[in-house]
Amino acid sequence: MLRVGLTGGLATGKSFVGQVLADLGCFWIQADQLGHRVLAPGGEAYQAVVDRFGSGILKEDGSIDRNKLAEEVFDRPEKLALLTSLVHPPVIRMEEELIREFAARNPAGIAVVEAAILIETGSHKRFDRLIVTRCTEQQQIERALRRPGATLEQVLARLRRQLPIEEKARLADYVIDTSGTKEETIAQVKSVYESLRRIAS
């Protein structure tokens, strides 16, 4: 089974590319969704995060308010590193478990793990192939600002924290440029999928 990492800069179309790969037959895992699960009440990272960041990050129902948590780590590298150290290990364990289950069912399949900071955390080394999505920085800003609650200050801060796209692209086996039309992006994804399929079979 082929293990593929999918990453890119903020709002460069990672999830769109992941969805197209899933539609083509890949097993698609979104690290962000697993992050939600480990931070949910009873989740593996929930209590540790509450202990370290305090009850001020909780909603009335006891769940973690992700916006408040984001404010806690906003432009505070040491707090962000702490949060990452609490959340990433259980997320990676869940990814590996899902991949093992998929491999048992489909030994010749392709598992794609989508994660925003795959390279920054060194996790890209766990994969056989790496896909990086890219577009112009102006497009990143415009797309990110369409997300609910996004502010220009937060978007620019997140862009500053991430590795430049050029550095990510240098490590990639495949670079998908999402700056054009959806049809152009889909055509690139299909080409990458055919290449992955040849390697996996």
pTM for this prediction: 0.93
Number of domains in the chain: 1
Cα dist. 178→144, 157, 175, 184 in Å?
14, 22, 10, 8
Q: Tell me the per-residue pLDDT of 27-66, one tens digit each, with 9 for 90 and over.
A: 999 999 999 999 999 999 999 999 999 999 999 999 999 8
Q: What is the pLDDT of residue 57?
A: 95
- How far, in whole angstroms, is CA 45 from its chain's centroid? 18
Residue 127 belongs to what domain range?
2-200
- CA dist., res. 43 & res. 39, Å (int): 5
Instruction: State the CATH number of the domain containing residue 24.
Output: 3.40.50.300
